[in-house]
Amino acid sequence: DTEVTQTPKHLVMGMTNKKSLKCEQHMGHRAMYWYKQKAKKPPELMFVYSYEKLSINESVPSRFSPECPNSSLLNLHLHALQPEDSALYLCASSQGWTSGKLTDTQYFGPGTRLTVL
Amino acid sequence: KQEVTQIPAALSVPEGENLVLNCSFTDSAIYNLQWFRQDPGKGLTSLLLIQSSQREQTSGRLNASLDKSSGRSTLYIAASQPGDSATYLCAVSGTASKLTFGTGTRLQVTL
């Protein structure tokens, strides 16, 4: 099973709301990723978790807060977002991420379409 | 800084035609190159991954080649079908410790 699941599929929130995005995989992968994708643009990396530890933060604003409670689960907590944060948020996983080397296939979830009003 | 470019940006072909999508990258120090497809508003589906030591990979009607020294990869799609319509993205993994994506080729296969 090469499936990464994401919930919810769609989310509409106001700028003062707090919400969370959830990502789950059961492939035994030890690396998990959050990406942001704007319309007609390629995905942009936000965070990398390796063995449940944050390995990369691509200078993402603190209103985005990632969390990796266990090796199968990845959350993205959202607070005080801006309308320009509206985008498709993609989660991905891969077998590993060793010493910064991405040598394995990344598997992506279907994404959460976020709209900030 | 790694830069990845895909040409053409958009392509429309009749069903049954063979086609080639191109991907070029500026830094040849890569670990691998991955091709994805993305349907509108959906996530990415991995098609093929080529390690830096490999020259090509095949899956069904898809064949991807890699020429690391010249910074190029091609994705060949044989006997195209309307279901192949999607955006195709290449991405390289290198010393930046992350995937660097190309700008994508939007493919439409017409009946």
Residues A87-114 have pLDDT tens digits of 999 999 998 776 667 778 899 999 999 9
Determine the distance in angstroms separating the CA of A72 from the nearest CA of chain B, rounded to an integer. 19
**Confidence band (pLDDT; 50, 70, 90) for A2?**
low
List pLDDT tens digits, range B29-87. Answer: 999 999 999 999 899 999 999 999 999 999 999 999 999 999 999 999 999 999 999 99
Residue A85's nearest CA partner among A31, A46, A51 is A46
User: What number of other Cβ atoms are within 10 A of residue A51's Cβ?
Assistant: 12
Nearest to A42 among B42, B51, B101 (CB): B101
Specify the pLDDT at position A9. 96
> How confident is the model over A56-93, as pLDDT tens digits?
899 999 999 999 999 899 999 999 999 999 999 999 99
Q: What is the pLDDT of residue A44?
A: 94
Contacts of B103 in chain A (CB under 8 A): 42
Are A42 and B43 in contact (CB < 8 Å)? no
- What's the mean per-residue pLDDT of chain B? 94
Instruction: Give B100: exposed, middle or buried? Use CB within 10 Å, 0-12, 13-18, 19+.
Output: buried
Task: Kindly tell me if the per-residue pLDDT of A1 is higher than 70.
Answer: no
